Structure 1
Amino acid sequence: MSGRGWAILFVLCGAIFLEGIDISMVGVAVPSIRAELGMSTSALQWVVGAYVLGYGGFMLLGGRSADLLGRRRMFVLWLGVFIVFSGLGGFATEGWMLITARFVTGIAAAFMAPAGLSIITTRFPEGPARNRAVLVYAGTGAAGFTLGLVVGGVLTEIDWRWVFFAPVGMAAVILVAAIRLIPVEARPVPRSLQSFDLAGAFTATSAMLLLVFAVVRAPDVSITSTVVAALASSTFFLVFVVVERRVPEPLIRLGILRSGPLLRANVSAILFSGSFMGFQFILVLYLQELREWSPLQTGLAMLVSGGDAILAPTLTPVLVNRFGNVRVVLGGLLIGVLAYGLFVRVEVDWTYAAMLPTMVLIGVSFAMVYGPLTIAATDGIVENEQGLASALLYTSWQFGTALGLAVVTAVQVAALEGSDSAEGLLESYRAALVVPVVAVLAAVVVTGFGLRRRAGDVTAP
């Protein structure tokens, strides 16, 4: 890659680093947020769930906007919105204020993230150069998430509000660098409102919002309410399909969904992200509320799981070139099964040495899964649909996050019902920790279908 190419990649990596650090710092801070704002466990998941709702609900629209309105334009504009509302979360005095700020921050990420990834996948030619850029990009996101665990712990010790204030300065620097370094694109062809698939955008966004809402709200409402929301989502999806078949410039060309690698990558992303975020949510509650560890101790305990920040840009490219995406992803998923399985029988008095194997294996698993899945989801996709392919993948990651949080919360709350003892709390955590194991096993099955490919094709899962 040229010096200019590295500079652009650096800016885009800065944005995904910012997103990673923003998410993980909030994850460490949730018990402190609960203590000050008086939120229940079910309400507490909305601090993360609201972000996911905005992210997952608007992602398809964000990805297509990048393709139609300009990737640089969307990236810069929504990075600015991300900065503003990420900072506003620190001023919240009620739970609903924080949740609202997180929702809008998620919407900003829904437009910013696919624009950033599609800049990479369109600027670097398909093959080793793009694979390297994507793996560096993925590794940087992982590094942000990992560093956020420690920084979030340090800031939460001071005041949890700094978890939202601190990223603003860094984000401002990234914004200035993006304006200076990312080349201005050719002005998009002027389009009338009729050329935009407004009906498709409305029905797709409504369907995704209702689906993510149904998943996130499931632990708090009756099964009837959840089913009604799911049925409403399905109805919007059906209308969306009808619309996409009839409009001249659809939001989603339905033919893109015939790509087996793309579909497998997205389903595996849903299951894998859900397993990790569900595990992290329970782990933080276990360490801080049962074991009474401080936020800083919690962050340091999870720090070793960030080994993927080193492995992703160094070891993973070698493995992909040698064995192909699908085998690397499958190996990473199997390691994930082992990692979560080892933690299921957690005890009240576990030493950190007993937890350490799980933490190490999670980092290895992420290094082998995240980047190769990103490559698989965008390989072979035409340039003018790279934003869409990126948006589909990010939607899957966020929907998986919502699904994982909702399921583990529902299982933990149900298992705890009627018991307020330390042993009852521990048993509820154990029950919830089964969910990540099952999710990753399902991802192994889905990815395994990718092994059936043409002889000699070692790069496409």
Structure 2
Amino acid sequence: MMEPSPSTNARGHPAAVPSRRWSPRLWGLLLVLAGNMLVDALEVSVVIVALPSIGRELDMPLTMSQWLVSGFALGFGGLMLFGGRVVELLGRRRVYLAAMTGFAVASVIGGLTSEPSVLIATRFVKGFCAALTAPTGLAIIASTFPAGRDRDRAVSVYALFGAGGFTAGLLLSGFLTGFSWRWTLLFPAPVVLVLAAFGLRLIPRALPTSTTRHFDIAGASTFAGAVLALVYGITEVPAHGWVGPRTLGAFVLAALLAAAFGTVERTSRLPLFRTGVLRSGTLVRSMLGAAALNGSYLGLLLVATVRLQTDQGWSPLRTALAFLPASAPLAVTALFSGRLVSRFGTARLIAAGALGPLVGCLLYLEAPARSPYATGVLPTMLLVGAGFVLGFAALNMQATQGISVSDRAQAVALYQTAVQLSAALVVALTAALATGASDDRPALWLISAVGAAGLAVGLCGLPRGHHPDSPLRK
């Protein structure tokens, strides 16, 4: 017997009732949310291949142009916890639509400006907008699609768009930079505005989930400021050294702001996060493992982009295509990752996934700078791609294992914060080391060390004897 189609509530929005056949309105809502998730995900990668072109036209050294990557990551990760509070107080629909509009405006300003500081600021703003929309989209799905098969299917589509975003960003960046790097920053604006227009009609209205008016701006500003000062200090190393006044001043400021953040959160009546969540060993290992995987990958892409385009004269599109073996496998296998976890458990997949990128980085370190693609770049990219296929979903799933339902949202926010901040820090360190040396080997050693740390964390999580996370094969 055919089950009933989803009904709508008094406002004409889809109601969360069980169904296996979705109405056009539900499909439209899912496509708006997943489409915006795709844009958020591709923003991580869309400027990487364009960095040499942007640097040449705006006279930005690598330590400055890397801010286009780390600035977005800082806005995303540095304000993720604050973004969750904003959504709680103002409501999902209002914040989601406002963030989409802000994202589009920042895209236009970034694509038109020729002032490096303005361009970097727009990347930070877009990162904050992504911090508002990425987790909120998943929350809207959870509250709109009924639990069970419907919600699982919706989350799978959402995750698939997110996994494909990085690959899409590389390809679009390579293609559009061939015309002008400005198009890599401009093209999201009309896409997001169209999605926002549909979202205005399709995203269900919901009341704020918190009645308090405590945003904890002091906590958010001290935390984001501490990370920003730390990254700034790292970028000053090539010009002023590790003990130069500007470098040390930035590091001291970062330490003071971090201490201020700790004080604010301890004394706040409603802190941005509860430290008790970090007592979960699986969450902490997932945060560290994902941070190492993401940071080492983006650092490797930065080095490879400079090596291929600056040293070997490759075009942006050719460079983007060279990176596909590292990014495309995850997009292709995203829907099957749950089966891998069910068969092998998260711990084994995380450890195996950390090994591939580390070996790949070491191979790239030993390869001559002008090696043919088949022997110099391709093996590394294949190993990195395998690492993401094995470890990416397992890390995401392990992060919430054993976490109570009430703490799960904070656990996810902390996990994403670690992922994004590692991107900012590792990319900044990579740029500093690549600029301050006659070759890129110091930067590659750093990336390899980060990968080794991720492997060590993965090995620490391996089960000893029988464990519910490690199904035994008969």
TM-score above 0.5, yes or no: yes
1:23 paired residue number: 44
Which string of whole-angstrom CA distances, capped at 9 and with x for unpartnered residues, describes residues 213-244 of structure 1?
A: 44455545442444443343333333433433
Percent of pairs with identical residues: 37
2:464 and 2:91 map into 1 onto residues whose CA distance is 36
What does residue range 147-166 of structure 1 map to in structure 2 within 5 Å? 147-166=168-187
Aligned partner (choices 210, 218, 242) of residue 223 of structure 1: 242
Three-state SS of the structure 1 residue aligned to 2:85 is helix
Report the CA distance between 1:254 and its aligned residue.
1.6
CA contact (8 A) 2:46 2:169 kept: yes
1:422 paired residue number: none
1:180 paired residue number: 201
TM-score, scaled to structure 1:
0.87
Structure 2 CA distance for partners of 1:64 and 1:187, relative to 1, 3 Å: closer
2:151 and 2:346 map into 1 onto residues whose CA distance is 14
2:29 and 2:325 map into 1 onto residues whose CA distance is 29
- Determine if the alignment matches structure 1 residue 367 to structure 2 residue 386: no
1:273 and 1:387 map into 2 onto residues whose CA distance is 21
Report the CA distance between 1:17 and its aligned residue.
1.2
TM-score, scaled to structure 2:
0.85
- Structure 1 residue ranges without an equivalent (≥5): 417-427
What does residue range 27-46 of structure 1 map to in structure 2 within 5 Å? 27-46=48-67
Report the CA distance between 1:386 and its aligned residue.
4.3
Which amino acid is the alignment partner of residue 287 of structure 2?
N
Report the CA distance between 1:9 and its aligned residue.
4.5
Aligned partner (choices 92, 115, 130) of residue 136 of structure 2: 115
Report the CA distance between 1:196 and its aligned residue.
4.1
Report the CA distance between 1:369 and its aligned residue.
2.3
1:245 paired residue number: 266
Which amino acid is the alignment partner of residue 75 of structure 2?
G
- Determine if the alignment matches structure 1 residue 210 to structure 2 residue 229: yes
CA contact (8 A) 1:20 1:145 kept: yes
2:462 paired residue number: 451
Structure 2 CA distance for partners of 1:72 and 1:363, relative to 1, 3 Å: farther
Which string of whole-angstrom CA distances, capped at 9 and with x for unpartnered residues, describes residues 258-303 of structure 1?
A: 1111111111222111101110011111111111011111111112
Three-state SS of the structure 2 residue aligned to 1:451 is coil
Which string of whole-angstrom CA distances, capped at 9 and with x for unpartnered residues, describes residues 391-411 of structure 1?
A: 222221221111211222222
Q: Report the RMSD for the aligned CA atoms in angstroms.
A: 2.9
1:414 and 1:260 map into 2 onto residues whose CA distance is 37
1:402 paired residue number: 424
Aligned partner (choices 436, 440, 450) of residue 439 of structure 1: 450
1:214 and 1:339 map into 2 onto residues whose CA distance is 29
CA contact (8 A) 1:53 1:212 kept: no
- Structure 2 residue ranges without an equivalent (≥5): 1-18
1:196 and 1:431 map into 2 onto residues whose CA distance is 42
- Determine if the alignment matches structure 1 residue 307 to structure 2 residue 328: yes
1:47 paired residue number: 68
Structure 2 CA distance for partners of 1:41 and 1:201, relative to 1, 3 Å: closer
Report the CA distance between 1:453 and its aligned residue.
7.0
1:105 paired residue number: 126
CA contact (8 A) 1:126 1:379 kept: no
2:27 and 2:338 map into 1 onto residues whose CA distance is 17
CA contact (8 A) 2:231 2:428 kept: no
Q: Whose helix proportion is higher, 1 or 2?
A: 1
2:90 and 2:406 map into 1 onto residues whose CA distance is 11
Structure 2 CA distance for partners of 1:200 and 1:432, relative to 1, 3 Å: closer
Say how many residue pairs are matched: 447
Report the CA distance between 1:48 and its aligned residue.
1.9
1:435 and 1:403 map into 2 onto residues whose CA distance is 12
CA contact (8 A) 2:72 2:127 kept: yes
1:204 and 1:367 map into 2 onto residues whose CA distance is 32
Q: Which has the higher contact order (CA 8 A, sep 6+)?
A: 1
1:424 paired residue number: none
Three-state SS of the structure 2 residue aligned to 1:292 is coil
Structure 2 CA distance for partners of 1:212 and 1:432, relative to 1, 3 Å: closer
1:414 paired residue number: 436
What does residue range 85-96 of structure 1 map to in structure 2 within 5 Å? 85-96=106-117
Three-state SS of the structure 2 residue aligned to 1:373 is helix
Report the CA distance between 1:101 and its aligned residue.
1.8
Which amino acid is the alignment partner of residue 326 of structure 2?
S
Which amino acid is the alignment partner of residue 380 of structure 2?
T
1:377 and 1:443 map into 2 onto residues whose CA distance is 15
CA contact (8 A) 1:219 1:407 kept: no
More off after superposition, 136-145 vs 161-170: 136-145
Three-state SS of the structure 2 residue aligned to 1:28 is coil
CA contact (8 A) 2:265 2:272 kept: yes
2:367 and 2:124 map into 1 onto residues whose CA distance is 33
Which amino acid is the alignment partner of residue 95 of structure 2?
M
CA contact (8 A) 1:320 1:459 kept: no
CA contact (8 A) 2:63 2:235 kept: no
1:151 and 1:252 map into 2 onto residues whose CA distance is 37
